Structure 1
């Protein structure tokens, strides 16, 4: 085991570690989580040097984070830091593995808000939609309510995804709406690639709405 230790600031080491080991190796959404962890590290311990990292200083960092986050979120934060610190220990940049036996704390879990509409609420919503003869966002809401598609999947739908003969919609992509490089991207996972059956009235409506639209561009 090498005995040299680093006096580099921890947040700078973590920034370099992300660039070296994670960029281009993980999904963009996963990379964003590492980037967010980096921002928290820089905010919570801007003056922590690598040679100052031990179990006590690392636990202090986790405890600070846990003051404003639920335990599950703190656990994710810990996991995003753990790999980098394990590498630092194996490379001899720190004297101990500070993540060993780390205690995960967090604030009390908040009561989750209801994220669905019951049947009566959904019917009332559909009744209020402005389903005109041209595509608009009310049609988007209508289609999601009829198919259960994820938001990003519905955004990515093109006219060619509508199979009128077999009365279904082909789901094989989603739309990146969160980050600057907007555009098509794969679905959440392989099982998300599927065919969704749709009622006659909905299909008939979208057959008219999709006329004269580019078959390969989002509607």
Structure 2
């Protein structure tokens, strides 16, 4: 509650409050008001800010306290858990160790730019951009949402780019894909030799362009055998040192229904029968209680890191470049485009936000298609 007193011909207010983090008593004072009424109005505004935001004004808020409150109260309830975990980790491991003892108003553009340059010596361009995005967004909120600093000193900070960065995406040629898939089947001494799960999973990724998280989240209810379609409306998130959970897809356009080709329909039906055979063959291979299409031997969600490791083993076995499961998504897109598929169809099948994303990602392929089309046109008009 505020108290007021007259000093000479002017009035001032004094507000005593408890800091939410330290639980210590703080006070805020301001004078120079012509009347008590003016002081009361100003005190009411100040109390509202204190109780609503809990931040000190004029940039005096310690960076560590501000970021902890900002994350917990203003970010955690409104972003996906995986997004929050990435933000929290970057704040805890990078931002607070460097800036935690500063006050918000003490952060300068030149010192911050120097720090960003140093970060590029330890992290990739993408990682540094993520760290900077968190820091800049937090200070933007400090200016425009909480009004505790006058301006954001981090506007137009430059992130050093990779000196040599290839825009080409990694994918398998048709022959490489055949070699890869033929080496995916269980080897002689495999623990669960009867299972064709990975063969089916990698075929599905290569023939649909699904993201790995989308494929691992699939249940048998997502399949429609009558129409030969697959509904994609969720993704599996498997954070490091944390429990997996089902989340919404990457973007709104990622919610989609895609058509399966005849071979894939037969293969996934074979997988369903094979699952039952595996349950009978191996006593410790448990049925899933969640109707999951691809799962671990204990019935739980298949771990993304386990899939990646097995993928690498297959690449080595097939004597192919060591890629990641995401390369199968690129492979599907490239093969569709090379086969003459409409780029809008490819974009919708992949669940991209726009055709432009597809065109930019597969520029080397679309450029070849344009060149081939122009060659055909030239031949046509010359005859």
Residue 246 (structure 2) pairs with residue 191 (structure 1): no
Q: CA deviation at 1:21?
A: 0.9
Which one of the candidate residues 73, 76, 89 is aligned to 1:20?
Answer: 73
Look at both structures and tell me which one has the larger radius of gyration over its CA atoms.
Answer: 2
List gaps (5 residues or longer) in structure 1.
Answer: none
CA contact (8 A) 2:82 2:239 kept: no
- Residues 103 and 182 of structure 1: CA distance in aligned 2, closer, same or farther (over 3 Å): closer
1:146 to partner: Cα distance: 2.1
Q: Higher mean Cα deviation, 147-156 or 40-49?
A: 40-49
User: TM-score, normalization: structure 1?
Assistant: 0.79
Q: Do 2:120 and 2:128's aligned partners in 1 also have CA atoms closer than 8 Å?
A: yes
Say which SS state the counterpart of residue 230 (structure 2) adopts. strand
1:166: how far off? 1.3
Deviations 1:69-106 (A, max 9, x none): 45554444332112322343565655653224x43132
Mapped pair 1:32 → 2:79:
no
Q: Aligned pair 1:66/2:120, yes or no? A: yes
CA RMSD of aligned residues (A): 3.2
Which residue does the alignment assign to 1:207?
269
Shift of 1:56: 3.3
Q: 1:216 to 1:200 in 2, by over 3 A?
A: farther
C-alpha contact (below 8 Å) 1:6/1:50 kept by paired residues: yes
Confirm or deny: 8 A CA contact 2:197 2:271 kept in the other structure: no
1:80 aligns with 134
Taking structure 1 as reference, are residues 97 and 188 closer, same or farther at Cα in structure 2, changes over 3 Å only? closer
Query: Where do 1:55-204 residues align within 5 Å?
Result: 55-71=109-125, 73-89=127-143, 91=146, 93-94=148-149, 97-100=152-155, 102-112=156-166, 114-130=169-185, 134-178=195-239, 180-204=242-266
> Is this contact kept in 1: 2:185–2:196, CA < 8 A?
no
Structure 2 residue aligned with 1:217: 291
Number of aligned residue pairs: give it: 217
Q: Equivalents in 1 of 2:255, 2:246: separation in Å? A: 14
Q: Secondary structure at the match of 1:21?
A: helix
Check whether the contact 2:184–2:198 (CA below 8 A) recurs between aligned residues.
no
Highest relative contact order (Cα 8 Å, sep 6+), 1 or 2?
Answer: 1
User: Which shifted more, 154-163 or 64-73?
Assistant: 64-73
Q: 1:52 to 1:175 in 2, by over 3 A?
A: same
Distance 1:65 1:196, change over 3 A: same
Residues of 2 paired with 1:96 and 1:174: CA distance?
Answer: 39
Describe the shift of the 1:42–1:181 C-alpha distance in structure 2 as closer, same or farther (beyond 3 A).
same
CA drift at 1:124? 0.9
Specify the SS of the correspondent of 1:6: coil
CA distance in 1, matches of 2:254, 2:143: 39
**Contact 1:74–1:106 (CA<8 Å) still a contact in 2?**
no
